[in-house]
Structure 1
Amino acid sequence: MRPATTAERRRLRTRRRLQRPVETARLRLSVFRSAKHIYAQVIDPKRGHTIAEANSKSLGLTGNKTEQAAAVGRAVAERALAAGAKQVVFDRGSYRYHGRVKALADGAREGGLEF
């Protein structure tokens, strides 16, 4: 078995912390970051369905990537609130809570989500 990379260890550590909220059926705000775009989706862990999603690619945002991430956070929060989701658990995956990931979380909080 090969040793886990730093990113894999960070991702698994984040998932371990999310195990308890999954059992209580709290929704999960999952983030994916690529080189050009950022994606966010609110997932129901019991059913495995996406409740709301937003990304910088489909929104056609301008500005730097941090500003785009904040706009994506606000958009996913607006869509989640429309679907009836108020409280979520923030799943940053293997990404550090810094830069674009932090901007997305702050934008989602501004939009009305609680985590």
Structure 2
Amino acid sequence: MKITRQQSKQRRHRRIRNKILGSSERPRLAVYRSNEHIYAQVIDDTLQKTLATASSVEPELKSRLTSGANKAASTEVGKALAARALEKGVTQVVFDRGGNLYHGRIKALADAAREGGLSF
């Protein structure tokens, strides 16, 4: 049986999530990338609570972006997420790339979050 790209991504994500758990001291920075947008959340898995979110769909970010599906959009989302997380007192996170390869838009978001003050 042939494995599709989607199934491969789901397998990678399950493998990653078995090892990564966001705690109160170090919440999980989860990234979801679609064809048209990128979304990121800082999640405390022990309390099952989302602490901060940012995405290229938000009106304030969308108005500044030409597209939600490029590195520039990912950079803006990463900066916005870092600022919101710092407001909540979060400085250290665990990065969950969501089964995506650490490349391109995912890497751009991670680098921008690091520049914004998050450490991982």
- Fold match by TM threshold 0.5: yes
Q: Which runs of 5+ in 2 are unaligned?
A: none
* RMSD over aligned Cα atoms: 1.9
Correspondence for 1:105 among 96, 103, 110? 110
C-alpha distance in 1 between matches for 2:82 and 2:24? 21
The yes-or-no answer on 1:31 pairing with 2:31 is yes
C-alpha distance in 1 between matches for 2:51 and 2:85? 7
More helix by share: 1
Q: 1:9 to 1:50 in 2, by over 3 A?
A: same
Decide whether the 8 Å contact of 2:23 with 2:44 is kept in 1. Answer: no
State the TM-score, normalizing by the size of structure 2: 0.84
Q: 1:28 to 1:66 in 2, by over 3 A?
A: same
Letter in 1 for 2:92: Q
Letter in 2 for 1:41: Q
Q: 1:24 to 1:111 in 2, by over 3 A?
A: closer
In the alignment of these two chains, the number of paired residues is 111
Residue identity (%): 49
Q: Which runs of 5+ in 1 are unaligned?
A: none
Within 5 A, what are the aligned runs for 1:1-115? Answer: 5-19=7-21, 22=22, 25-58=25-58, 59-60=61-62, 61-63=64-66, 65-115=70-120
